Amino acid sequence: MILALLAAALYGSGVALQYREATKMPDSESVRLGLLARLIKRPLWLLGVVFDFAGFALQAVALARGSLIVVEPLIASSLIFSFITVALLNGKKPERHEIGAALLVVGGLSTFLIAGAPEVTSHDAAPAAKWLGSAAVVWGLVAAIAVFAVRRGPRVRGAALAIAAGLANGFVAVASKAFAQKVDDDSFASTLLSWEPYLLLAAGISAVLMLQSAYQANTATVTFPLVEVTAPLTASFIGVAVFGEHLSLGGHRAPVVLLALAVMIYGIVLLGREEPMVPNHPAVE
């Protein structure tokens, strides 16, 4: 439990540092690889990436020692740590109503993950046709959203790109599963001759670009919760479509899942009404 909370704190702090640096980038770099080229030169942004990797490592250890049902909801609390860290970085106290709304999102997401968790494990592999189909749907949506968002105002752009980033991150999670399974079945060397690592690499770079572009719009109260919710939902739906998983909706679970979704949406709506948590920075030219 302590390891999961530490992982959530690292994830949340990493997001806040990356967000702070991304907001300083000019709008013209949104959804362009030049944005990543600029950010990689900024020490605080790199520190945020290091925090992310450290959080991932602690999450893996926590999952190895504890229950998924306990660990994953605690990891979702990284949203709270993100808001707190962003406020502290700017010399402010976190607003109670913002934290309260974020708790609604975290609580709804955690309840959804617990109540709708599949009762059986997924298949080890999936047909190429299903992979292609899911990739076409997800990345088609990501591309369409990015094109729509690029010329919009900050709030709309931030919300749209956050959804695109969540879709991308959800796909990356599933691609990671395929990569890990391939390494487990064969070896790391032979896996490098297959398509899985290159799918993961391409998806990962695209996901980072969408995420940093969403942060660049400087609308944390919109961006953070949308990414936090969209990513696991996307991964869940791909798991159902590609790997034969299924949501457990029998008995009392269905109304609980629907209520959890409603609570998440309500929390996101409340946060979406808030003003940006970070004042506008002069863009770095």
pLDDT at 54 over 80: yes
Structural domain count, the chain:
1
Exposure string for 180-212, b = 16+ CB within 10 A, e = fewer: ebbbeeeeeeebeeeebbebbeebbebbbbbbb
Measure the CA–CA gap between 269 and 120, rounded to whole angstroms.
34
Question: Structural domain of residue 80, as residue ranges?
Answer: 2-272
Decide if 159 is inside a domain.
Answer: yes
Q: 269 with 147: CB under 8 angstroms?
A: no
Measure the CA–CA gap between 176 and 170, rounded to whole angstroms.
10
Confidence tier at 185 by pLDDT (50, 70, 90): confident
Decide if 285 is inside a domain.
Answer: no
Decide if 233 is inside a domain.
Answer: yes
Q: Which residue has the higher pLDDT, 121 or 114?
A: 114
CA–CA distances in Å: residue 43 to residues 39, 90, 121, 176: 9, 18, 41, 27
Exposure string for 31-47, b = 16+ CB within 10 A, e = fewer: beeebbebbeebeebee
Decide if 284 is inside a domain.
Answer: no
Q: 165 with 228: CB under 8 angstroms?
A: no
Query: How much of the chain exceeds pLDDT 90, in percent?
Result: 29
Decide if 280 is inside a domain.
Answer: no
Decide if 282 is inside a domain.
Answer: no
Confidence tier at 122 by pLDDT (50, 70, 90): low
Q: What are the tens digits of pLDDT across the range 64-93?
A: 676 656 676 777 888 889 988 988 888 777
Mean pLDDT of 82-111: 85
Range in 90-94, 219-223, 241-245, 267-271 the model is least confident about: 241-245
Which sign does the torsion angle of CA 36, 46, 213, 238 carry?
positive
Q: What is the pLDDT of residue 14?
A: 94
Residue 96 φ/ψ region, left for φ over 0, alpha for ψ in the -120 to 50 degree band, beta for the rest: alpha
Mean pLDDT of 166-194: 80
Burial class (CB in 10 A: 0-12, 13-18, 19+), 77: buried
Decide if 279 is inside a domain.
Answer: no
Q: What is the pLDDT of residue 199?
A: 85
Q: What is the pLDDT of residue 180?
A: 73
Mean pLDDT of 1-29: 90
Q: What is the pLDDT of residue 282?
A: 52
Decide if 202 is inside a domain.
Answer: yes
Mean pLDDT of 159-182: 86
Mean pLDDT of 221-240: 86
Q: Give pTM, 2 decimals.
A: 0.85
Q: Which residue has the tokens 């708790």?
A: 103
- Using DSSP's 3-state secondary structure scheme, residue 67 falls into coil
Confidence tier at 28 by pLDDT (50, 70, 90): confident
Measure the CA–CA gap between 73 and 17, rounded to whole angstroms.
22
